[in-house]
Amino acid sequence: MNIETIRILNVIKNGSLVNLESVITDSNQLSQKILSFLYKEGLILSYRLRKKANYYNNTSEILVQLRHYFGKPVLRRLKVMSFPSKPLCVSYKSICRISAKNKIFVFSTTRGLLNLDECKRFKLGGVLLLVC
């Protein structure tokens, strides 16, 4: 996970903590995969890519619609676990010992981004990216 992706996740978390309806962040490949995973898990309402109004280069940004449940943000407990200088690698044996009650673990594996149940089903370990 690179610094840009960590910054994007912090923008999403801070936006949800101050009860914003949506946030705008820069776009990169890994952040799009993480946002599609968060959408699949039901943690965000939607996300949309759009071009920046910049004439010098063709960059894009992402508009993320945040999810709230009874007025409280869903992503208030989002915690980034791996950093570029210290990736947190977890083996399959360690994954089997984790019991996830009301938490979502996101792993980067050889099959892409998977949650805890999918890692147990495919018998894969990987790098723990974030916990919600």
Residues 7 and 55 in one domain: yes
Task: Name which of 75, 77, 79, 82 is nearest 108 in CA terms.
Answer: 82
DSSP 8-state assignment for residue 66: E
Which helix (DSSP H) or strand (DSSP E) does residue 14 occupy?
helix 3-17
Query: To the nearest whole percent, how much of the chain has pLDDT over 90?
Result: 62
pLDDT exceeds cutoff 80 at 57: no
Select the more confidently predicted residue: 93 or 5.
93
Residues 18 and 70 in one domain: yes
Residue 55 — pLDDT band, cuts 50, 70, 90? Answer: low
Select the more confidently predicted residue: 55 or 66.
66
Cα(122)–Cα(132) distance, rounded to whole angstroms? 21
Bridge partners of residue 64, in order along the sequence:
23, 47
pLDDT exceeds cutoff 80 at 52: no
Q: What is the pTM of this model?
A: 0.85
Query: Are the C-beta atoms of residues 129 and 81 closer than 8 Å to each other?
Result: yes
Range of the domain at 101: 81-131
Which residue type, as a one-letter code, is found at position 55? Y
What CATH number does residue 105 fall under? 3.30.1490.10
What CATH number does residue 17 fall under? 3.30.1370.30
Query: Distance between terminal CA atoms of the chain?
Result: 17
pLDDT tens by residue, 66-99: 999 998 899 888 999 988 889 999 999 999 999 8
pLDDT tens by residue, 9-29: 999 999 999 999 999 998 888
Cα(50)–Cα(108) distance, rounded to whole angstroms? 26
In the chain, the number of structural domains is 2
Average pLDDT of the chain, as a whole number: 90
Q: What pLDDT score does 36 carry?
A: 94
